[in-house]
Structures are given as structure tokens and as C-alpha cells.
């Protein structure tokens, strides 16, 4: 009786809704997974080996959320004349496509809990292999600094020091969610990314194909903040990382379907072993006013995309998202999923680290600081289409990927950390850690200092006033690092002698006068225990250290 009464109410309300908008995409919530043919003991059936390895590395168990939806449910929905857009194992449901007037047949299925209209389907565009015009490489001119004008936004986070240590994102699988990556192939700053095979995959969750070089240029600019590799002009914060490109934003309209696209993309990212997601997207105001969110909905638990972001974090993924650009607008505050408590929400600063007026504010809270951290978002340096040049763009859409790439490098350097531990570590080295606010959160993080904090005993930092050092417990995961805060010459000679006086390492390194010098003694972990003597020579300065291993 209750089922029939609910169905009657559903039919009456749906007729009113569809008289106004002919939606053809619907979220169908299932009630359980009790009859799933999948097992948590056989995750290889639905997770890649990389995803399983990431889980094991972080001590995250496979659970019922990881089980795909019951395929018999999908088959029964198809039998009612609806197509399956995609299903969600985390939320135990599916996005279906079809005539809204026939939904009563789906609602009558015994496993269906509820149905909601969420948006419109989009026709596929035919992808093309054609690559547009670009200028000749002879037009490529380089600034004196390796990072070009990107130097400020990279150095602000100390990401350049992580790069010098050898941590530029190598072998880190990252995902970028956006509204499209139009003109990426025409952008010279991405040539090495493509030639080296650093784009591991792509998927368009709007049009359901693998072609993402369409829609919006926004994703291309966002990606360039992380992956650009055009020395002397524009460099990303993780230029050596590997990337999955996911189109989740529908540039033709703003509806809740985009939250479910994001959810599907997050599940995809988890299944292929992604470690970090950057999402320069936010939702609160939709084209259908009935879908709009109010402040009360941004409580860290309510919106679909916020739930999805926290679920991704629970699987061990570091989710980084933009706070939003409503700082000067009546809304004023951040949007979803920036309210999620287990992710890193990023505000925007100018080149000097001051709050950019457009950057959205968090909500006053006694237990949760949002945004968490901030990076440069005012006149950020991005790659220019078709030219060996840089360009400028502003928004938290760019502060987010700049910090995301730098966090990936820090995680590469500290692989034993979990996603949440890494966020807490970065926050602890924020420029306003002792007095966070709703504008910048804990401020701009000093990520090299964060590495030093986590790696005490793994490096020697030379002081100008001291010539002899003793490290009684020199340790390292793999390599031992040497830090000279300010180079006084263009060359540094490094020698390491073993316990019986034998030379085990000798190398001359280039340095930049007046800048911090960083280098490493590789394979320190493999050397036998004993007392080692380290000799450093830079111009007239000579330093010695005894390292007890």
C-alpha cells in the first residue's frame, strides 16, 4: 500500500516537473547490494592492480562500497526501455537516460529506492585528429629563470626546491577533472607531456567517449599549472607526473548531472590507481532554481559532489579543489565540494601572498578551517595556445592546480604519508598556521620546509658559520640530501668516504650564485653501517661532516 501511495505521489510530482523541463537523465538510488555477484575478497575483478597496491600501501581495506552495483538491477532497468549512462558503486545507484514519462515502470522495481531528475544528455561530438596551427619553434625565447614567469607561483610554495631534490612528480598518477581540454594538442608547453606518454588516459563523462580535447579551454589552462614544460617561459608544479584527463563539466548548462559525472570520474580515478585529483569546479547555483543549494546544504555532508569527494578521500585519494570566485559576489562563500572535510580546498592570493579579492571565503566554524590553504590565483601563469609563450589567467581554478601539483611532488618525496596526513603536514607549515581565517585558511604552505620537518636526519643543512658537522643518526629512505642555503660559487664538489676511508661517492654539481643549492647522495640506504666522512667544497668554503649510519 505504501509503495502504491508513494508511486502515485511520484507520478503527480513528476508530471509537474516534466511539464516544465523535459529532463532525460535521472539518478536511480538502489536499496542494497545484498545479491551482488562480486566479492571483497576478489578486488582484481573491479579494481586495477595499481588501485589495489595504493590501498595496501595505505592500509585501506576493500569494503562493500567498492563492490560494483548488481548487474541484474541494470538489466531490469534496461528492460524498461532506459539506457544506462553509468553506475556508481560508492553511492549504489545509476544514472539512466530515457523518457521521463515512463519512469513509473522503473520506480515499481523492488530494488529501487528513489529517482531524481538531474539533467540532460548530450550528443557525442566526432573527435578529430587534426591539430591546429602553431608558430615555429624559432619563436621560442627563454627568460633567464628556468621557470620563466612561473617562478613566482612555483617558488611561493617552495616547489622548485622539491624539484631540485628530484621530486617533480615522476610516476605519480594524477587526475584532472574539468569542462574540457580544448586546444591542448596545439599548446607547445604540452609537447613533452604527449611525447613521453604522460597522459595515461582520458574520458568524457558528459558525452561518454574518450575524446576530451573539446568543450572548454579552462581545463587546458588548469592542466598547464601542473604539467606545462616549457623551460624559460612556463612550467607546471608537477611537470613529470602522469595524468588522466576527465571531462565532467557540461559547458552547455549547469545541472546536478555534473555532480554525478564528478562521482563517476572519481570512481574511475580510484579504479585506475590515481593518487591525487585536482578539480577546479564548484557547484551551488544551477540553471534550474529547484536544484540550487543554500548555505545550510554546504555542511560537509549533504551535496552529492561533497559526498563523492569525501568518499574518494576515504579510498586514499588526495582531492584538491578550488574554493571558488565568489568573494566579491553576494554568495561570498565557497561552493561544493569545497565544504568536504577530508579534502584540500584552495583559496587564491596575489603574487605577494595577499588574499585575492575574488577568492571565496569559508564559513565560520569551530572545528573546520576552509579553505585549508592558498596559492597564487591572481594573474597566474598559464600556457598559451599555439605559441611558445605564457599567458595569464585568474581564479581559484588556477591556485588549486598549482598547489595540487606541488602536493603531488611532496607526496612523491614522502610516500609513507597518507592523503590526510599530507594535508595536515602542509597546513602545519602554512604562513598563518597559528591564526587561520576564512579567507586564506592556514595560508600559503612552505612545502620544502614541510619535507624538512618530515625528514629530520635525512639531510645536512650547511651553515655559513660552521665548518664541521656531526650527525649521530644519519638516516634516509633512499638518498641523503645536502642543503646549502645560499650558493657562493657556480660549482660544488661533493665527496663521501666510507668507514675504512675508501671513496664511495664523488661528484661536481652546478650551482646558481646566490640561490639555494640542493643535491643528494644516491642509494644511501644501501651503504653498510658505519662512520662516513662527507667533504663539501664551494669556492673558498670547505665543509666537513661525520655521518654515523
Q: Which of 322, 303, 304 is nearest to 218 (CA)?
A: 322
Indicate if 465 and 342 belong to the same structural domain.
Answer: no
Q: Are residues 180 and 63 in the same domain?
A: no
Q: What is the CATH number of the domain that holds 391?
A: 3.40.50.200
* pLDDT higher than threshold 90 for residue 19: no
Which pLDDT belongs to residue 259?
98
Domain closes at, from 431, 453, 475:
453
| Residues 366-417 pLDDT 10s | 789 999 999 999 999 999 999 999 999 999 999 999 999 999 999 999 999 9
**CB–CB of 345/441 below 8 Å?**
yes
Position 92 in a domain: yes
The C-alpha cell 587546458 sits at 220
| 335 domain-assigned | yes
Domain count, the chain: 3
Residue 436 DSSP SS3: coil
Long-range (24+ apart) CB contacts under 8 A made by 34-42 are: 35/70, 35/72, 36/67, 36/68, 36/69, 36/70, 37/70, 37/71, 38/67, 38/68, 39/67, 40/64, 40/66, 40/67
Q: Is residue 118 over pLDDT 80?
A: yes
Give the Cα separation of 161 and 139 in Å (integer).
29
Residue 192 lies in a domain: no
Together in a domain, 506 and 442: no
Residue-level pLDDT at 2: 40
Q: State the Cα–Cα distance between residues 383 and 505, nearest whole angstrom.
A: 40
In a domain, 245, yes or no: yes
CB–CB of 276/408 below 8 Å? yes
**CATH at residue 466:** 2.60.40
Tell me which residue range forms the domain holding 501. Answer: 455-548
CA 26 to CA 100: how far, in whole Å? 8
Of 64, 65, 40, which is closest to residue 308 (Cα–Cα)? 65
Q: Based on the domain organization, do 379 and 285 belong to the same domain?
A: yes
Which of 71, 87, 119 finishes a domain?
A: 119
Residues 257 and 357 in one domain: yes
CA 429 and chain centroid, separation: 20
From the candidates 24, 66, 145, 178, give the one annotated as an active-site residue: 178
Q: What is the pLDDT of residues 452-462, one digit of tens each?
A: 999 988 899 99
Q: Which residues pair with 245 in a beta bridge?
A: 176, 202
Give the dihedral of Cα atoms 11, 16, 20, 22; nearest 10 deg.
Answer: 0
438 within domain boundaries: yes
**Which helix (H) or strand (E) is 507 found in, with range?**
strand 503-510
Q: Mean pLDDT over residues 18-28, rounded?
A: 79
Tell me what the mean pLDDT of segment 174-178 comes to: 98
What does the H/E/C string look like for 61-128? CCCHHHCCCCHHHHHHHHCCCCEEEEEECCCCEEEEECCHHHHHHHHCCCCEEEEEEEECCCCCCCCC
At 476 the pLDDT is 64
At residue 472, the pLDDT reads: 77
Q: Are residues 341 and 299 in the same domain?
A: yes
Q: In what order do the strands lie in the sheet with 344-349?
A: 199-204, 242-247, 173-178, 276-279, 318-322, 344-349, 373-376
Question: Does pLDDT of 169 surpass 80?
Answer: yes
Q: Is the domain of 158 the same as that of 277?
A: yes
DSSP E strand stretches across 297-451:
318-322, 344-349, 373-376, 380-383, 390-393
Identify the CA nearest to 534 among candidates 497, 480, 509. Answer: 497
Give the integer Cα–Cα distance in Å for 185 and 254: 27
Q: Which three cell numbers stand for residue 29?
A: 538510488
Instruction: Indicate the burial class of 516 (C-beta count within 10 angstroms; 0-12, 13-18, 19 or more).
Output: middle
Classify strands 480-484 and 459-461 as parallel, antiparallel or unpaired.
parallel
Rounded mean pLDDT, 305-315: 98
Residue 142, number of CB atoms within 10 A of its CB:
12
The confidence score (pLDDT) of residue 16 equals 36
Which one is catalytic: 335, 397, 399, 400? 397
- Please report the pLDDT score of residue 125 as a whole number: 75
Q: What is the pLDDT of residue 18?
A: 39
For 355, residues 6+ apart whose C-beta sits below 8 A from its C-beta are 327, 347, 348, 349, 374, 439, 440
Using CA atoms in the order 329, 330, 336, 342, what is the torsion angle rounded to 10 degrees? 90
Residue 208 lies in a domain: no
Better-predicted residue by pLDDT, 480 or 423: 423
Rounded to 5°, the CA angle 354-357-363 comes to 95
350: left (phi over 0), alpha (psi -120 to 50) or beta: beta
Which cell numbers hold the place of 185?
594538442
Mean per-residue pLDDT for 210-237?
A: 96
At residue 465 the predicted structure's pLDDT band, cuts being 50, 70 and 90, is: confident
Establish whether 479 is a catalytic residue: no
155 is catalytic: no
pLDDT at residue 230 in the model? 95
Q: What single-letter DSSP state applies at residue 55?
A: H
Question: Model pTM?
Answer: 0.93
Same domain, yes or no: 436 and 469? no
The answer to whether residues 111 and 150 belong to one domain is no
* Together in a domain, 269 and 350: yes
For residue 64, pLDDT beyond 80: yes
- 241 plus 96 within the same structural domain: no
CB 479 within 8 A of CB 524: yes
Please report the pLDDT score of residue 9 as a whole number: 44
Element (H, E) at 428: helix 419-428
Instruction: Please state the rounded mean pLDDT for residues 224-236.
Output: 97
Report percent pLDDT > 90 for the chain. Answer: 83
User: Beta strand pairing status for 173-178 and 199-204?
Assistant: unpaired
**Is 5's pLDDT higher than 70?**
no
Give the model's confidence band at 124: pLDDT under 50 very low, under 70 low, under 90 confident, else very high: confident
Cα dihedral 99/104/108/111 (nearest 10): 50
Boundary of a domain, candidates 418, 453, 488 = 453
Q: List, for residues 500-548, the tens digit of each pLDDT value.
A: 999 999 999 999 889 999 998 888 888 888 999 999 999 999 999 999 8
At 255-308, the pLDDT tens digits run: 999 999 999 999 999 999 999 999 999 999 999 999 999 999 999 999 999 999
- Residue 472 included in any domain: yes
> According to the model, what pLDDT value does residue 524 have?
86
Phi/psi at 235 (nearest 5 deg)? -130, 140
Catalytic residue (one of 87, 88, 202, 218): 218
**Residue 419, domain member (yes or no):** yes
The answer for residues whose C-beta is within 8 angstroms of residue 124's C-beta and 6 or more apart is 207, 208, 209
My answer on whether 261 and 379 are in the same domain is yes
Amino acid at each position: 500500500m505504501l509503495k502504491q501511495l508513494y508511486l502515485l505521489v511520484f507520478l503527480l510530482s513528476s508530471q509537474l516537473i516534466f511539464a516544465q523541463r523535459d529532463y532525460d537523465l535521472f539518478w536511480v538510488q538502489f536499496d542494497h547490494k545484498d545479491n551482488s555477484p562480486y566479492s571483497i575478497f576478489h578486488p582484481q575483478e573491479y579494481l586495477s592492480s595499481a588501485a589495489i597496491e595504493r590501498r595496501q600501501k595505505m592500509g585501506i581495506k576493500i569494503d562493500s562500497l567498492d563492490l560494483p552495483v548488481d548487474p541484474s538491477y541494470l538489466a531490469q532497468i534496461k528492460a524498461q526501455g532506459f539506457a544506462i549512462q553509468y553506475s556508481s558503486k560508492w553511492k549504489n545507484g545509476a544514472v539512466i537516460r530515457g523518457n521521463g514519462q515512463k519512469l513509473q515502470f522503473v520506480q515499481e522495481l523492488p530494488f529501487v529506492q528513489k529517482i531524481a531528475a538531474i539533467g540532460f544528455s548530450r550528443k557525442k561530438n566526432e573527435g578529430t585528429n587534426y591539430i591546429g596551427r602553431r608558430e615555429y619553434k624559432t619563436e621560442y625565447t627563454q627568460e633567464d629563470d628556468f621557470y620563466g614567469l612561473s617562478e613566482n607561483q612555483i617558488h611561493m610554495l617552495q616547489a622548485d626546491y622539491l624539484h631540485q631534490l628530484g621530486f617533480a612528480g615522476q610516476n605519480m598518477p594524477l587526475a584532472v577533472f574539468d569542462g574540457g581540454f580544448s586546444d591542448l594538442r596545439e599548446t607547445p608547453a604540452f609537447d613533452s607531456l604527449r611525447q613521453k606518454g604522460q597522459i595515461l588516459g582520458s574520458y568524457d563523462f558528459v558525452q561518454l567517449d574518450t575524446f576530451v580535447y573539446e568543450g572548454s579551454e579552462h581545463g587546458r589552462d588548469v592542466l598547464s599549472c601542473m604539467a606545462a614544460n616549457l623551460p624559460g617561459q612556463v612550467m607546471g608544479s608537477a611537470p613529470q607526473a602522469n595524468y588522466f584527463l576527465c571531462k565532467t563539466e557540461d559547458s552547455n548548462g549547469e545541472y546536478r548531472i555534473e555532480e554525478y559525472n564528478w562521482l563517476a570520474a572519481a570512481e574511475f580515478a580510484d579504479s585506475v590507481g590515481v593518487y591525487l585529483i585536482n578539480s577546479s569546479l564548484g557547484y551551488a547555483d544551477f540553471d534550474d532554481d529547484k536544484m540550487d543549494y543554500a548555505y545550510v546544504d554546504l555542511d560537509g555532508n549533504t551535496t552529492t559532489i561533497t559526498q563523492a569527494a569525501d568518499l574518494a578521500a576515504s579510498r586514499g585519494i588526495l582531492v584538491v579543489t578550488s574554493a571558488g570566485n565568489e568573494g566579491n559576489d553576494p554568495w561570498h562563500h565557497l561552493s561544493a565540494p569545497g565544504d568536504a572535510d577530508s579534502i584540500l580546498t584552495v583559496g587564491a592570493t596575489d603574487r605577494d601572498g595577499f588574499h585575492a579579492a575574488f577568492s571565496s571565503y569559508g564559513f565560520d566554524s569551530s572545528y573546520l578551517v576552509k579553505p585549508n590553504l592558498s596559492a597564487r590565483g591572481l594573474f597566474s601563469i598559464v600556457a598559451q595556445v599555439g605559441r611558445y609563450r605564457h599567458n595569464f589567467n585568474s581564479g581559484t581554478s588556477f591556485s588549486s592546480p598549482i598547489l595540487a601539483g606541488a602536493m603531488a611532488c611532496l607526496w612523491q618525496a614522502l610516500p609513507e604519508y597518507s592523503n590526510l596526513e599530507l594535508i595536515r603536514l602542509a597546513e602545519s607549515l602554512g604562513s598563518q598556521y597559528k591564526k587561520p581565517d576564512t579567507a586564506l585558511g592556514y595560508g600559503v604552505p612552505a612545502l620544502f620546509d614541510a619535507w624538512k620537518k618530515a625528514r629530520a636526519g635525512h639531510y645536512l643543512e650547511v651553515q655559513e658559520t660552521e665548518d664541521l658537522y656531526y650527525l649521530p643518526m644519519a638516516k634516509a629512505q633512499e638518498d641523503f640530501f645536502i642543503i646549502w642555503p645560499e650558493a657562493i660559487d657556480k660549482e660544488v664538489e661533493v665527496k663521501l668516504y666510507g668507514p675504512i676511508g675508501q671513496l664511495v661517492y664523488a661528484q661536481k654539481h652546478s650551482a646558481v650564485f646566490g640561490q639555494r643549492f640542493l643535491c643528494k647522495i644516491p642509494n644511501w640506504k644501501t651503504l653498510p653501517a658505519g662512520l662516513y666522512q662527507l667533504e663539501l667544497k664551494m669556492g673558498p668554503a670547505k665543509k666537513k661532516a661525520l655521518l654515523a649510519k
